[in-house]
Amino acid sequence: MTSYKLGFSLVFSLFVALSCAREDPFQSGRFIDLTHDFSSETIYWPTSEPFQLETVFRGITDKNFFYSAYKFCAAEHGGTHIDAPVHFALGHNSVDKIPLEQLIGPAVVIDVSEHTLNDRDYQISIQDFETWESSNGSIPDNTIVLLSTGYGRYWPDQVKYMGTDKRGPDAVKELHFPGLHPSTATWLSEIRKVKAVGIDTPSIDYGQSKLFKSHQVLSKKNVPIFENVANLERLPPRGAIIIALPMKIKEGSGGPLRIVAFLSGK
């Protein structure tokens, strides 16, 4: 059995065992929502249109019952969302083609806030991972890696979170927030063979990136990316199970993401 199948088999066996043990497989544990609300405050890339919610109807109908309905408009890449590999790699998986087993599984959380809160342009290094592994053990293959920079505490203050609240192409040069160094992206995808990578900033590449090399590296390996992830500071270094399900947009390069963590035990 390959390590890929073994990893998924272990997660599946866990859920089966829990299901056999009690009616509610999630009774012994708790969920943590890792998703920011979508609203007028949601942060989008400076060149993207913000989230819009329009009321179709809200009130008492002529039949005397309450009814509400809305319609929304949103760019694929904004708020808590997924970058599908096709976002930066021609011919690779679009949102609807990402295997579910890449979106569900055990996670590790790498806390680099000690560096990033002192340096808005910090790029997470291989050494950061080696330091983490020296205390927590090697990252197994087929793990979801979550990068906790501490910037989630600034949401939804755009200036503190991403460096600017300006809009349009000229605002991009004013973006300042930490990200993953491209060499580390290569290490994660080739040496640690991760399922997916998430971060609590607007992009897996740091704000001043021009070529988005970490996006390119991960996308070419068909590794999906989660961005603007919330509440990572509430997760332990190991032990969380992640469920990250995006809007299933056919041929989409990304989309809104509902991502949650399950922590077993009391």
For the stretch 22-73, pLDDT in tens is: 577 777 899 999 999 999 999 999 999 999 999 999 999 999 999 999 999 9
Q: Is the pLDDT reported for residue 173 higher than 60?
A: yes
Residue 24 pLDDT? 73
Q: How far is CA 140 from CA 94, 229, 239, 263, in A?
A: 26, 22, 12, 18
In the numeric block, which tokens belong to residue 138?
A: 């090697």
Q: Is the pLDDT reported for residue 4 higher than 50?
A: no
147 φ/ψ angles, rounded to the nearest 5 degrees: -105, 115
* pLDDT band at residue 129 under the 50/70/90 scheme: very high
Mean residue pLDDT of the chain comes to 93
Kindly list the structural domains of the chain, giving each domain's residue range(s) and its CATH number in brackets, ordered by start: 29-48+76-264 (3.50.30.50)
CB 162 within 8 Å of CB 207: yes
Rounded CA separation 116/97 (Å):
33
Q: How far is CA 219 from CA 88, 225, 227, 254, in A?
A: 6, 8, 14, 12
* pLDDT band at residue 20 under the 50/70/90 scheme: low
234 φ/ψ angles, rounded to the nearest 5 degrees: -90, -5
Q: Is the pLDDT reported for residue 242 higher than 50?
A: yes
